[in-house]
Structure 1
Amino acid sequence: MVRGASVGQEPPAAESAAATRLTFVVNDRPVSVQAHPARPLLDFLRDELDLTGAKLACDRRAECWACAVLVDGRVVAACVTPLAQVAGKRVTTIEGLGSPDALHPLQAAFVDAGAVQCGFCTPGMILAAKALLDQKSEPTRAEVAHAMRKHLCRCTGYVKIVDAVLLGAAALRGEEIGGGLAARAVGPAPGPRPAAVEGPVSVTTAVGRPVRSRDGVLRATGRHRFGGDLRRAGMLHAKILRSPHPHAEILGIDVSAARALPGVFAVLTAADIPGKNSAGFMGEDQPVLCADKVRYVGDPVAVVAATSEAVAEQALARIRVEYRPLEPLFNPFDALRPGAPRIHSGGNLFATRGLVRGNPAQGFREADVIVEQCYTTPYQEHAYLEPEAGLAYLDEEGRLTIATGTQNPHDDQRVVAALLGLPLDRVRIVNTESGGGFGGKVDTSVQGVLGLLVHRLGRPVRLAYTRAESFLATTKRHPFYLHYRMGATADGRLTALEAEIVVDKGAYASTGWSVIFRGVIHGTGPYEIPHVRVHCRGVYTNQSIGGALMGFGATQVAFAVESQLDLLAERLGLDPLDFRLRNAFRPGSTTATGQRLEGGVHIRECLEAVRPHYIRALVEARHARSLASQGHLRRGVGLACGWFGIGVSGFRHPGRRADAAAELTPEGRVRIYTGCAEMGQGSNTALAQIAAEAFGLPYEAVELVTGDTAQVPDAGATVASRGTYFSGHAVLQACERLRERLASRAGRLLEEDPGQVICEAGAFRSRLDPGQRVPLRELAAICRAEGIGLRAEGSLTSRVTDLDEETSQGIPYETYNYDTQLAEVEVNTETGDIRVLRLTAAFDAGRTIHPVKIAGQYEGGMTFGLGYALREGFEPGRTFSFTDYRLTRMDQMPEIVLINLDRPDPAGPFGAKGVGNLPANATAPAIAAAVRHATGVHLTAVPFTPDSLRRALVQI
């Protein structure tokens, strides 16, 4: 007998200590409590005082500082601060600093500067900034980064956070900052700084303005409730038993001892599932609880509900599972060998995809230079600061309701309903808006087992993953093994590309189909290549599940194709920028799938926008080399391009459609209903801006209802940069239809042709006689009395085509976004350390909806790419913490310079097309090119660690 593994935390040592009377002050209110002196302050604040602005994100290891509070003005990590240490002192949490109606200047600055994305780290960041500014009223950017270096953020890339601290510092010094509080330039860093955020927008043009996000205010004040912040009277706590084996048969599970433990209400296994025991966004091969086999370390085997997490952990320890270990397959090549054990009954080959255009053999005959190389890319962890968490209960109508952060509420609803054998309308998913997603919350996590427990028990149940559990049990970026061969003529024209790609799928399907598909389609880069053959195999292994992660598929192949272009340029004696420019797409180009690109094709403009920075960087690198020719520091410059097709991909899947609705309220406001999932990317704000623009209303006159499957239409998964483009189109269409209906009735009231009636300042008025107007509130009452509908639906069904199974010819995406990134590095040839000095990027994401938010999203994506390139190393079953997994911190950031082309795309809503999945793709190859320029080493494996670079330097 071998029991399963639980991935949790030991109960705090406080539980065994003697309670004592402690008194202190929290947010100016005296607290006197009989408590264990060693109890963590964080637990007391959250569980006893319901102050949930401070977050638990790192398993009480003080690795992330999302739990930060002030104690007598000094910032501390509340997760490791015992109550005894605050006795007689003053504690300030984010809730005590300001409120949504009375923001502290730092809270206002964080919202206005775009420093609040998902908001999970924001309370701790703001309090750390306050502690700094209380000591130093006018810090430099470097001083801010150093003082806040312990605080992790996965969304922003830190640039906007430093901006916000400096903006808040100026406000606290009493300096005038625009429109009421407006921005003088703060700090010397080049690139777009935060525009002055205007007060309530009182004109009808909302798109393109840095309006203040309403959800940002809630996050900056600690009032937003994430899944792990939710509580209900009488709720139970759940814990999951997970497999310690990568590959094994389950011979038996004995839960009797666990069920007998006082405080345990349920211990469930696969045998207790009444419906379909499977999940998976694009292939339902993943059991919610494993019945007869486990396929990776972390596979769920049983779930417990008990009166506390501590009791639930004790129950897990009493479950006995009998396993028969099977041979594990840890890489796709072992999994493909003849006679290898089958991970799934259908075999270990998950999927294949090919792309063929022209005659590659002919293309290589035409080439004067051919380069061939193998590349590898690794796992990458999403590392969103909010671990998976949720609360399930029966709502007032008796519906099973699951409140959690998700990118895919309606698909979650379908999975849970099928699991329990319930009608779809008896399951309700409420998206609490994630503390980061990046693709990792498109698959179900807590939803299935929470639904199972509440369906069985009829009472509320809470489940929150530990950080270790999140590392162990959730999806990652797929590792790719790539063999590339490319040819070009002497004058720099690409003639042919062949690529053989093998993808480590991990244990289950997840979004693997789309990752493989996208890797094949994007495998040429944004370049015209007449002869192409790409073949890709996705292979099951007994490793962590490969899923969706920012750029999924496009990120991996970008490293290979851009590195090949640098080899070709060197062999041909051509400048890398000019070589790319010679082959880059332009309007009228045809992609390798045969798609003709008409409008919105601006990769060439991206290259040209970067050119002056590239020339300056080359001059500076040559000068640095002349000054330090005998030293160990080498300067290098490199560039790379990226592209990303908007949408899930061109094959049959619900991702082709998004729905929305618009409604005129009795108060004369427009209310938007959308399933688009906010996770920090700013979709709530952008969709409200689109609605305001479409209706001719001020931004503040638009309300949003999001994420509740009982109220909103299905928008599909918020993934693959679908939010602005797909849901934006759906919202735009709904608003236009409602506006036209109302304009028709207003025209009759005004005795005016409906075509001459416009909406402005809360009323419909005559275009010819502005004095003739009917307020929206009055119009709503009239329409309601006459039975005229005050709600309209909108949708977008993507106009992509199903691609040929063998050649992938067709239209996989409606439109694409593009970028060029320039990296400037300094390499220490003794230690192998790579220091990125500056990243410059020019990007085409269509027309800008919100200039501050799009810049912040791009900076955050580049930081993903920076960590991917240099330091993020995930090992399945061995990486459990932010000490093991090294995220980029604030004081490790290079200077970032952004150039937003802001060119409307004819296909997008108001010309927009989204940006979220683009910026991580070109960063690693640009850095690799810069290292090659500095040292002569051609890097072929991500990440570029000091050890790997030192080994490579020895070989040249």
Structure 2
Amino acid sequence: MINKEIVINGINRSLVVGSEDTLSTVIRNNLMLTGTKVGCNTGQCGACSVIMNGKVVRSCALKMRRVPDGAQITTIEGIGTPDNLHPIQMAWIAHGGAQCGFCTPGFIVSVKGLLDTNPSPTREDVRDWFSKHSNACRCTGYKHLVDATMDAAKVLRGEMSMDELAFKIPEDGRIWGTRYPRPSAIAKVTGTTDFGADLGVKMPEETLKCALVQAEVSHAKILSIDVSEAEAMAGVTKVVTHKDIKGKNRITGLITFPTNKGDGWDRPILCDEKVFQYGDAIAIVCAETEKIAREAAKLVKVELEQLPEYMSAPAAMAEDAMEIHPGTPNVYFTQKVAKGEDTAPIFDAADVVVEGDYFTSRQPHLPIEPDVGFAYQNDEGKLCIHSKSIGLHLHLYMIAPGLGVEPEDMVMVQNPTGGTFGYKFSPTMEALVGAAALATGRPVYLGYDYYQQQTYTGKRSPQFTSVRLAADKDGKLLGMETDWTVDHGPYSEFGDLLTIRGAQYIGAGYDIPAIRGEGRTVCTNHAWGAAFRGYGGPEAEFPSEVLMDELAEKLGMDPLELRYKNVYRKGSTTPTGQDPEVYSLPEMLDKIRPKYEAAKKKAAADSTDEVKRGVGIAVGVYGAGLDGPDSSEVDAALNADDTVTIFTCWEDHGQGADMGTLGTAHEALRPLGLSPDQIKLVMNDTSKAPNAGPAGGSRSQVMTGQATKNACELLIEGMKKADGSFRTYAEMEAEGLDLRYHGKFTAPATDCDENGQGKPFCCYMYGVFMAEVAVDIATGKTSVEGMTMVADIGKVNNFLIVDGQMYGGMAQGIGLALSENYEDIKKHSTMRGAGFPYIKQVPDDMEVMYVETPRPDGPFGASGAGEIPLCAPHPAIINGIYNACGVRIKELPALPEKVLAGLQAK
């Protein structure tokens, strides 16, 4: 131990700390300044940034022995407070810089360090600074963070006032369709939002800290588990194994498709008979400190019998492969698509046929905040689980039988969440902390490190896809044939639904009269497949969008014009045979055409022998909702002070569920003349709000938005007097009228049949993407120099929030196209190793243009938003590479060595 004297946020502190403790640990645990966040814990994300003696440092990588005595340290708490914001914080709010908000304190501290030393930075100066200090953001696409920095600098130089940055409510009082800041913005920019790990620091004294005993092989039979030495260690309360779990010890995948050959009960809470993937949880050590728990976990002895590891779909499909789950074939679900006439005669007679084989990779979600949660039994004896869940009621029903708890005896709560991008559509540690709390009878806390985040959470399922297109000599599409294979890892949850996406989205956006194809879900021993933004769309649309470019080349047509000829118009139908609800794609292509023509001329003019430049285009389509008659429920209540409270489980990945709820409710409650601050939000607690359904498939704005609208309209109707005015709370109570109203919405949609035909969604989203790329001929390295998107997501609830979704999605598309992967378990277990796109990998030249076509079934004409920006930026980039240098990449990611090999092959 050492004694340190430091000055933190202007206050002298004398501390006794461990010499090997990190500065971030001391700031958070000793000083309880939890505004400083810890993400990667290896200095790769910048969330923990503080200023020490005038320099920005990453506090998670700085040992206390290296902190000088008397060091002057500034954390986010020393920059501004909720009632006294710093200009940087105000600019962050104005530009929507805080989405999930987990990286926000680190960025704001970093910007403070920049502007203290360079009060007049250029945009490139800002980007260089963030790159130098490893400030990483997964949500925003960075552009808005640079915008915010530039405006903050203007305020500090006296060229702009704080008032000019602040949002002004229009004279008509309407906030729908504006840039009204999200309700959580102030807390996020001041570091006062308590994320899961912050709440963990503040848990009761009796809380046990958990550490997992995890598999270090991908497939094995468990012969024995010996916990005796670990349980004998001082400070260890209990080591929980499968023997301590009273229920089925399984997480159910809630299989709903009768053709699925599995029963959905294939994922253990704690492994009992077998290990199915690297990182599987075998035991949970519950101890007085996290350090003790992790040390004791090393003492648990697990005897295994190694089994063959099937790390890809082709390996698991081999004739001699054993069944990973005995009794269930490794190929456990098949989906056909059959639309229109038989395709064989069409292909025989077609003027032009093109075909190709494509592969989309196991993309990791790479949130800055690792998975975290805690559990306890409340005073009513109910098991309460707090986590990053984006499917609270869904997860309750998935884990309750496995834990041996009745659903009515469980409560699920979502903590403020540092991004999930879909991985939390699956329960990850919810059942683990539930099991530990039940086994010990004490509150328990579990926080993953980044290695665990990578090795024990789901990933985008890789997909092998073959596509054939037939067209006449003028470029009119006549038919399509498809075959796709989904590597869904060892656990079946939602794997069938994902495979159905191939039938819905390969070739989506185009009028293709005849389609035949078949896809399948395969069980393997690699990382389990979890939902990831776009859920099947990026996998399905990559092959068909690249093949459209190949068709254009064979026809001698411009790729944009080929698309323009074939996109949905009146009389067109989707791959499922559904009439599109709107026909805006021609208008969207017209909107991007001038930029596309200018970009092609610029690319030709700027290409050199050393660096070739090109332009790529792609179309994306995605449905807003879960298939068929999806439904959602929300309550609205009148309060004693005549304000209104909305009770909803519209879960928040960081996308802005609070603003989605507020914007929709405020618009619906306009007859009452309420200001936004007169609408209160009670969100994401199953004991307080009804089942709105999970926040996935871009369903929330449509489904939960409509339920919110319906609840508000019922409340208004209940308050209305005969003369058209409205009752007060006191009048409602005096008349014995209901004060709380239940809104529900069920989508006017149908499930698809065995041939993939039906009307699965009432609302869709449409995107047109253009990528401007540069390829270094000597190395094969591709840089994206510009991205443009035309988006039609219906009427926009809030442009500040939706802009963030579009730009952030495109940035993730750049990662998917060029760098991101989780194939090599060791190599890809860190952010940098997995190909995380930092600011220099994402261009500053990004633009989003909107075509707002009102949706008949969306609340106030809105559709969903989150999925569409990641559905097709990556094929646009890949098409741009070919346009630049003539190399066609068909297997993602397009690493430099792949492009270079293509160049050398030429």
Length-normalised TM-score, structure 2: 0.96
State the one-letter code of the partner of 1:551: G
Q: What's the counterpart of residue 260 of structure 2?
A: none
What CA deviation, in whole Å up to 9, does each residue of 1:219-267 have, x standing for no partner? 1111111111113222110011111121111111111111111111111
Could you tell me how far 1:637 is from its partner in structure 2?
A: 1.1
Distance in 1, matches of 2:484 and 2:734, equals: 63
Cα offset, 1:281, TM superposition: 4.5
Shift of 1:406: 1.2
Amino acid across the alignment from 1:446: M
Q: Deviations over 1:385-409 (max 9, x none)?
A: 1111012122233322112111011
Are 1:647 and 2:629 matched, yes or no?
Answer: no
Alignment correspondent of 1:276 = 248
* SS of structure 2 residue aligned to 1:486: strand
Preserved contact between residue 421 and residue 533 of structure 2 (Cα < 8 Å): yes
The match for 2:183 is: 214
User: Do the aligned partners of 1:157 and 1:859 also contact (CA within 8 Å) in 2?
Assistant: yes
Range with bigger deviation, 869-878 or 638-647: 869-878
Quote the Cα distance in structure 1 between the aligned partners of 2:171 and 2:557. 53
1:260 partnered with 2:232: yes
What does the per-residue CA deviation read over 1:675-709, in whole Å, with 9 as the maximum and x for residues that have no partner?
11112111211211111111113222211111111
Equivalent residue of 1:506, what SS? coil
TM-score between both structures, scaled by the size of structure 1: 0.91
Partner of 2:868: 918
Letter in 2 for 1:104: H
Match of 1:767 in 2: none
The correspondence for 1:331, drawn from 312, 316, 326, is 312
Distance 2:129 2:253 in 1: 42
1:624 offset after TM fit, Å? 2.7
Structure-2 separation of matches of 1:367 and 1:20: 79
- CA displacement, residues 265-313 of structure 1 (integer Å, 9 cap, x when unaligned): 1111111110121115543421110110111111111111001111112
2:686 corresponding residue in structure 1? 709
Question: Residues 37 and 311 from structure 1, CA distance in 2 versus in 1: closer, same or farther, beyond 3 angstroms?
Answer: closer
Is 1:929 equivalent to 2:879 in the alignment?
yes
Q: Where does residue 688 of structure 1 map in the other structure?
A: 662
3-state DSSP of counterpart to 1:62: coil
Which of 234, 239, 248 lines up with 2:206 in the alignment?
234
Q: 1:595 aligns with which of 574, 578, 594?
A: 578
* Structure 1 residue aligned with 2:192: 223
1:823-858 deviations in Å (ceiling 9; x for gaps): 111112221111211111111011111112111110
Instruction: Measure, in 2, the Cα distance between the counterparts of 1:615 and 1:566.
Output: 16
2:303 is equivalent to residue 322 of structure 1? yes
Residue 167 (structure 2) pairs with residue 198 (structure 1):
yes
Q: Partners of 1:384 and 1:86 in 2: how far apart? A: 32
For residue 581 of structure 1, what is the aligned residue in structure 2? 564
Match of 1:634 in 2: 612
| 8 Å CA contact retained: 1:204, 1:693 | no
Q: Tell me the distance in 2 between the aligned counterparts of 1:703 and 1:508.
A: 39
Pairing 1:702-851 to 2, within 5 Å after superposition: 702-744=679-721, 747=722, 752=723, 754=724, 757=725, 764=726, 779-805=728-754, 807-851=755-799
Give the counterpart of 2:809 among 849, 858, 861. Answer: 861
Aligned pairs (5 A) from 1:537-576: 537-576=520-559
User: Is contact 1:201-1:698 (8 Å) kept?
Assistant: no
- Whether 1:898 and 2:879 are equivalent positions in the alignment is no
Match of 1:673 in 2: 647
Report matched runs for 1:52-201 at 5 Å. 52-58=34-40, 60-84=41-65, 85-149=67-131, 150-177=134-161, 181-182=163-164, 197-199=166-168
- Residue 169 of structure 1, CA deviation: 1.3
Shift of 1:564: 0.8
Equivalent residues of 1:366, 1:495 under 8 A apart:
no
Matches of 2:840 and 2:810 in 1, distance apart? 15
Whole-angstrom distance in 2 between the partners of 1:513 and 1:601: 29
Q: What is the CA–CA distance in structure 1 between the aligned matches of 2:11 and 2:193, rounded to whole Å? A: 22
For 2:171 and 2:720, the matched residues in 1 are separated by: 21
Shift of 1:819: 0.8
Inter-partner Cα distance in structure 2 for 1:420 and 1:936: 56
Work out the CA distance in 2 between the residues paired with 1:57 and 1:344: 35
Would you say the 8 A contact 1:737–1:792 is kept in 2? yes
Q: Hey, what's the Cα distance between the residues in 2 that align with 1:947 and 1:713?
A: 51
1: CA distance, partners of 2:417 / 2:687: 19
The AA in structure 1 aligned to 2:3 is R
Tell me which amino acid in the other structure corresponds to 1:671. Answer: T
Contact 1:523 1:534 in 2 (8 A): no
SS of the residue corresponding to residue 318 of structure 1 reads coil
Q: Structure 2 matches for 1:512-527, cutoff 5 A?
A: 512-527=495-510
Letter of the structure 1 residue corresponding to residue 148 of structure 2: A
Q: Distance in 1 between matches of 2:771 and 2:197?
A: 39
Paired AA for residue 718 in structure 1: A
Partner of 2:272: 291
| Alpha-carbon shift at residue 912 of structure 1 (Å) | 0.8
In the alignment, the residues of structure 2 paired with residue 613 and residue 379 of structure 1 have an alpha-carbon distance, to the nearest angstrom, of 33
> Which residue does the alignment assign to 1:880?
829
Contact 1:433 1:677 (C-alpha < 8 Å) held by counterparts: no
Between the aligned residues of both structures, percent identity stands at 35
> Distance in 1 between the 2:574 and 2:221 partners?
47
Deviations 1:191-237 (A, max 9, x none): xxxxxx52456744221111122211111111111111113222110
- CA deviation map 1:49-82 (0-9, x unaligned): 2111111211x31111111111133211111222
CA distance in 2, matches of 1:334, 1:405: 34
More deviation, 891-900/521-530: 891-900
Aligned-partner Cα distance in 2 for 1:925–1:386: 29
Partner amino acid for 1:135?
A: T
> Displacement of 1:601 after TM fit?
2.9
- Equivalent in the alignment of 1:10: none
Structure 2's unaligned 5+ residue stretches are 255-263
- Larger displacement relative to structure 2 (535-544 or 73-82): 73-82
Question: Does structure 1 conserve the Cα–Cα contact (< 8 Å) formed by 2:97 and 2:140?
Answer: yes
Deviations 1:749-769 (A, max 9, x none): xxx1x3xx4xxxxxx4xxxxx
Question: Deviation at 1:648?
Answer: 2.2
**Aligned residue identity for 1:181:** D
Conserved 8 A contact 2:269-2:431 = yes
User: Does structure 2 retain, via aligned residues, the 8 Å contact 1:394–1:458?
Assistant: yes
1:938 and 2:888 equivalent? yes
Aligned residues: 884
Partner of 1:192: none
1:181 deviates by 2.4
- 1:489: which partner in 2? 472
C-alpha distance in 2 between matches for 1:201 and 1:397: 47
CA distance in 2, matches of 1:493, 1:645: 25
**SS state of the match for residue 222, structure 2?**
strand
One-letter amino acid matched to 1:831: T
Q: Contact conserved, 2:638 with 2:729, CA < 8 A, in 1?
A: yes
Separation of aligned partners in 2, 1:906 and 1:155: 30
For residues 38 and 302 of structure 1, the distance between their equivalents in structure 2, rounded to whole angstroms, comes to 28
> What residue in structure 2 maps to residue 907 of structure 1?
857
Shift of 1:344: 0.9
Aligned equivalents of 2:766 and 2:371: distance in 1?
Answer: 32
**What SS class does the counterpart of residue 182 from structure 1 fall into?**
helix
Question: Does structure 1 retain, via aligned residues, the 8 Å contact 2:240–2:439?
Answer: no
Letter in 2 for 1:497: M
Q: For residues 381-420 of structure 1, what are the structure 2 equivalents within 5 Å? A: 381-420=364-403
Distance (Å, rounded) in 1 between the aligned partners of 2:570 and 2:624: 17
Residue 931 of structure 1 aligns to a residue whose secondary structure is helix
Give distance in 2, aligned partners of 1:632 and 1:787.
79
1:711 partner letter: K
Tell me how large the CA RMSD over aligned residues is.
1.5
Of residues 870, 873, 889 in structure 1, which corresponds to 2:838?
A: 889
What is the SS of the residue equivalent to 2:576? coil
For 2:854, the aligned partner's letter is: P
Structure-1 residue corresponding to 2:259: none
